[in-house]
Structure 1
Amino acid sequence: MSDDNYMTTNRLEAFYDAIIAIIVTVLVLELPQPAAASFSAIWALKTSYFAYLISFLICTNLWQYHHIIYNHVDRINTKIIWQNIILLLIVSLIPYLTTFVANNPFSFLAQALYGLDFLFMNLMLYVMGRSLIGINEKQELSDALNIKNSLIIPTVIFIVGFIGAFLGQPITISICCLITIVRSILYSLK
């Protein structure tokens, strides 16, 4: 591939930022209003708030990770643009799946779809990262895309969640998503 086929990242990053902002906005708009202005009415919506919190953290953590990666990227190509589009397709399901999980917190199907969406995000990030390293040969980029922290550990945590779900506790998938996100946030603060 000639250098003429490479592009800068500015437009992709701006598009990505806009889509994540829209997804986060839709997330909050999907939160149900309490039936009354009381603590008991708010407490009745605790599963919706829990699902929202996890999904909000997923979106913001994904945005942060994308930002960290693209700080070390000088150029992209059409393949990487399409990988980002597929990633955004997967991420765009978060508001729908958040509502599905909030309305069915103990449903294996709802929890499994939510967890699989998050797992597919991680896999797509990994695929995109490998492509980025292929055309941006920088050690800093390789360090930012640490396979152990970005793919292996989250996958193991998800497997634990799915095992818990198969054993009759579907909500362990959401809990494992939360653990993965908190772990990722703490790792990024080092």
Structure 2
Amino acid sequence: MELKIAGIIVTNRVKSTASQPDTPTVYDRSDSHFEDVSLNLRVATEQLYQEERRLNSRVAMRGCTLKIRPLNQRSTNQWIEVTPEDFSRGGLKFTTDVRLNKGDKIWLLVKPDQGITGINPFQIGGIVKHISPAGDKSRIGAQFHRDMIKDYRRIELDSTLEKLENFLSIIERAAEE
């Protein structure tokens, strides 16, 4: 049997034991092979969402403080406070007077108000994806880069991002009413 789903071809071989009625069917090892469909998925996603870069909804970052630490040769080990604007599970936007370039890697230190959210402060890596002027400052769009965290904390981080997104969404809906 051969089946093609989203560009992935899966084949299985089954040994028939029909000549022996009381013997159950034996499934042999799978001869599955996979086709890389990442480019096809990226193209389809771009066509579907056209100019929209984000796949997750954005919510205002109320009740949170945000600090960044650029990872480049001129950076120091100091955290720099910035003004958070909005958040989604895929990234966030902030305003700063720190000079950053597209492609710069940064550490983000997100500190939700623990007394209200019950969410501990957390660090996550980010990549600068968008820069636009905001008066004498810059508005920066950073995409989260989970690969900068290499251990079990990534699992906890995904859960924390989901909790923060849910909390901020509730706050945003309440503010709209």
Structure 2 length normalisation: TM-score?
A: 0.24
Compare the two structures and name the one with the higher strand fraction.
Answer: 2
Q: Which has the higher contact order (CA 8 A, sep 6+)?
A: 1
Compare the two structures and name the one with the higher helix fraction.
Answer: 1
Structure 1 length normalisation: TM-score?
A: 0.23
